[in-house]
Amino acid sequence: MVHASPFRGPSGSGGPLSAAALGTGTSSVLDETLEPVYQEVLARNPGELEFHQAVREVLESLGPVVAKHPEYAEAAIIERLCEPERQIIFRVPWTDDSGQVRINRGFRVQFNSALGPFKGGIRFHPSVYLGIIKFLGFEQIFKNALSGMPIGGGKGGSDFNPRGRSNAEVMRFCQSFMTELHRHVGEYTDVPAGDTGVGEREIGYMFGQYKRIANSYESGVLTGKGLGIGGARVRREATGYGTVIFVEEMLKAKGTSLDGRRGVVSGSGNVAIYAIEKAAQLGGTCVACSDSDGIVVDEAGIDLELLKQVKEVERGRLTSYAERRGSARYIEDGRIWEVPCDVALPCATQNELNHADAMALARNGCVVVAEGANMPTTPDGVRVLMDAGVLFAPGKAANAGGVATSALEMQQNASRDSWSFAQSEEKLAEIMRAIHERCADTAAEYGSPGNYVAGANIAGFKQVADAMLALGVI
Ligand code: NDP
Ligand code: 2IT
């Protein structure tokens, strides 16, 4: 189903947008040794604009690294990093409730396994095409390295739109998807998890089908499972919690905190809900969130119990939240980044915060932007925020808590163990503090103190590059 979107990035309409629409037109100059690598990526992957954007964003940080380490160029590390190890595209046939046979396209891009088995989520959204899965898989390589866990990078998904589909339809779709995917995944090969449109319900159906085909209760083949079928405590909360813990670390480094701060969060899915929850636990108040139809502004602070009821239990829309909450206003097609805030957390989708949005945030006194979503800020948006002195946390650092906790789930599955909520949450906090420190230290070491984009890209890249060197030309 095609629906109106308040975001200027890809919405429900499917397929790529132009570079101008993505806000990727005004890039800074690349290092002269990296420009030909980028041109080759453009030529080899035509039309995959989000993938081009994600590659360019990393390459823009790597000038000082390749200058200091000629061994990376000699071994063609960057060229190899930009080419996925394996890309799988498959037909997903299923039958809807009226008996009509439907066809979707499934993807799994196994991008890089230098650090461990491919690891990354599965996205179900009508906008999914190869360029989206490749940008997500590429980002995942560096994010997973930053997490400090032994996991490589991959991503999968389908252009299936779960919106409006019955439970039985979602189940049949997931079973058909896994019927093909099962031969490509495994505890030591590739371990998918959730992403947009894929949560505990979908992971449960996919695990059920995997278990049936493989005749093996191989819990470690998927993460994000429900607690009753081998899932880990805090996985559901991990991405949102981790993003806010990262924000708290950034503010702490500036001698301040989240306490008493006003937040605005885009999206109202898994990441957004638990970002709002952790912000409240740390003394902040989130006053707005969104879905792809509109925004809710609730000056009394978002009522989390009601939001969870509407989104997690009823799988409803934000209009339903607004109808039941006296202090809330619903604005159809509203611009969330125009709501004044100290802390902005884009937690919906790629390219949802553009140049004009960044200008509005800076003008309204925003002090920190942290990406709960993957690549939600356009390149020119990032530049506006940084030039205005707004603290900026890129997704591959800020939202790494989700995949890190997935790796903790793998660890618990492998040892047939189950940790308490408190123990798991403390581990997540430790990991986020370590990622923050690593990004900050690396940025300073390479001459860009305070630049978390450079810090994340360089630290993640170096770890993967060194592993690739050690593994030889494969
Ligand atoms: P959910 O499906 O739970 O929620 C997504 C939210 O964002 C919904 O409110 C949805 O609105 C909105 N949204 C998503 N895609 C679009 C789009 N193309 N156009 C307009 N609105 C959109 O997903 P998650 O919360 O899990 O994921 C959100 C972001 O966080 C994604 O970028 C994902 O890659 C990233 N992420 C997720 C992790 C995880 O563990 N789940 C880990 C790290 C990053 P609507 O309901 O109207 O579609
Ligand atoms: O973007 C992401 O990091 C995720 N969707 C989570 C991946 C995972 O394997 O937990």
Give the residue, by CA position, lying nearest to ligand 1 atom 21: 292
Ligand 2 pocket test: pick from 274, 406, 411 the residue with the most ligand atoms within 8 Å of its Cβ. Answer: 406
Continuous segment of H or E residues that includes residue 279:
helix 270-281
Query: Measured from the CA of 143, which atom of ligand 2 is nearest?
Result: 3
Q: How confident is the model at residue 13 (pLDDT cuts 50, 70, 90)?
A: very low
SS3 annotation, 209-238: HHHHHHCCCCHHHCCCCCHHHCCCCCHHHH
pLDDT at 418: 97
Beta bridge partners of 186: 190
Cβ atoms 240, 266 nearer than 8 A: no
- Averaged over 319-330, what is the pLDDT? 98
Cα–Cα distance measured from residue 5 to residue 291, given in angstroms and rounded to the nearest whole number: 8
Give the residue, by CA position, lying nearest to ligand 2 atom 10: 403
Cβ atoms 318, 343 nearer than 8 A: no
Helix (H, G, I), strand (E, B), or coil: what is residue 429?
A: helix
Cα–Cα distance measured from residue 297 to residue 311, given in angstroms and rounded to the nearest whole number: 16
Degrees, nearest 5: CA angle 321-224-156: 95
Tokens 């899965």 locate to: 133
Tokens 């690739």 locate to: 468
Chain segment 183-238, per-residue pLDDT in tens: 999 999 999 999 999 999 999 999 999 999 999 999 999 999 999 999 999 999 99
The per-residue DSSP string of 362-428 comes to HHTT--EEE-SSSS-B-HHHHHHHHHTT-EEE-HHHHTHHHHHHHHHHHHHHHTT----HHHHHHHH
Pocket of ligand 2 (CB under 6 A): 119-121, 140, 143, 193, 195, 223, 374, 402-403, 406
- HSE-up of residue 29 (Cα within 13 Å, Cβ side): 3
Ligand 1 pocket test: pick from 195, 317, 403 the residue with the most ligand atoms within 8 Å of its Cβ. Answer: 195
Question: Regarding beta strands 86-95 and 101-112, do their DSSP bridges make them parallel or antiparallel, or are they unpaired?
Answer: antiparallel
Chain segment 48-94, per-residue pLDDT in tens: 999 999 999 999 999 999 999 999 999 999 999 999 999 999 999 99
Q: How much of the chain is helix, strand and coil, in % rounded to 5?
A: 50, 15, 35
pLDDT at 29: 86
Question: Regarding beta strands 285-291 and 153-158, do their DSSP bridges make them parallel or antiparallel, or are they unpaired?
Answer: unpaired
Q: How confident is the model at residue 28 (pLDDT cuts 50, 70, 90)?
A: confident
Residue 238: name the closest of 204, 202, 278, 200 by CA. Answer: 278
In the chain, the percentage of residues whose pLDDT exceeds 90 is: 94
Distance 60 CA to ligand 1 centre (A): 26
Whether the CA torsion 73, 75, 81, 87 is positive or negative: it is positive
